[in-house]
Amino acid sequence: MCINAKAETVDKLPSFREAFEKRRCVVPSDGFYEWRGPKARREPLWIHPADDTLLLFAGLFEAWQSQPGEWQTTFTILTTSANRLLEPIHNRMPVILDEAGAADWMNWREPDPLSLKRLLLPASEDLLVVRPASPLVNSVKNEGPELLEDLSLFGQ
């Protein structure tokens, strides 16, 4: 399973081409994590909408058999080059769609899927805010509101 797909090549790679043409989806999210700093002291960051609304990530889905007769549906999120806010942290970011773009993206009747590549751009810098997150996010075993405590309040 691929966690993300590059917007620039999604229509060319055999692993994504058919899903790009026929199985587009939107993945709602309240934000995402990135890490900065050296590997020994990586700092987790919570990146989320400035107005605390949901983000709509451009995605693709696929159904496949993990074993004969046992179907699973998985998805991947499309990424694009980072905007100026995120460039110092990472060179890529999820493709974030507005409501109209999400409706266009999911239109399976779109006669020219390549025209949808116009939607696969970096989000505007004012859409997102970045703040420190708890080091607890470094393990997928952890979940809960304590992951998003505002560490800046504690001088970290």
Output the furthest CA–CA distance in the chain (Å, rounded).
54
Note the CATH architecture for domain 4-35+43-135: Alpha-Beta Complex (3.90)
Residue ranges per structural domain of the chain: 4-35+43-135
Task: Grade residue 139 by pLDDT with cuts at 50, 70 and 90.
Answer: confident
Task: Grade residue 39 by pLDDT with cuts at 50, 70 and 90.
Answer: confident
Which residues lie across from 13 on neighbouring strands?
Answer: none
Decide if pLDDT at 84 tops 50.
yes
Specify the range with the lowest mean pLDDT, choosing from 14-23, 123-132, 134-143: 134-143
Task: Grade residue 156 by pLDDT with cuts at 50, 70 and 90.
Answer: very low
DSSP code per residue over 87-139: TTT-SEEE-EE-HHHHHHHH-TT-S-GGGGGGG-SPPPGGGEEEEE--GGGGS
Report which of 156, 101, 96 is spatially closest to residue 126, judged by C-alpha positions.
96
Task: Grade residue 18 by pLDDT with cuts at 50, 70 and 90.
Answer: very high
Q: Give the C-alpha separation, 37 to 58, whole Å.
A: 28
pLDDT of residue 129: 96
Task: Grade residue 117 by pLDDT with cuts at 50, 70 and 90.
Answer: very high
pLDDT of residue 2: 67
Token output for 28: 């709602």
Over residues 33-37, mean pLDDT: 92
List CB contacts of 130: < 8 A, sequence separation 6 or more: 45, 46, 47, 85, 86, 89
Q: Give the C-alpha separation, 23 to 59, whole Å.
A: 9
Over residues 4-22, mean pLDDT: 93
Q: What is the pLDDT of residues 47-72, one digit of tens each?
A: 999 998 999 999 999 988 888 989 99
Decide if pLDDT at 1 tops 60.
no
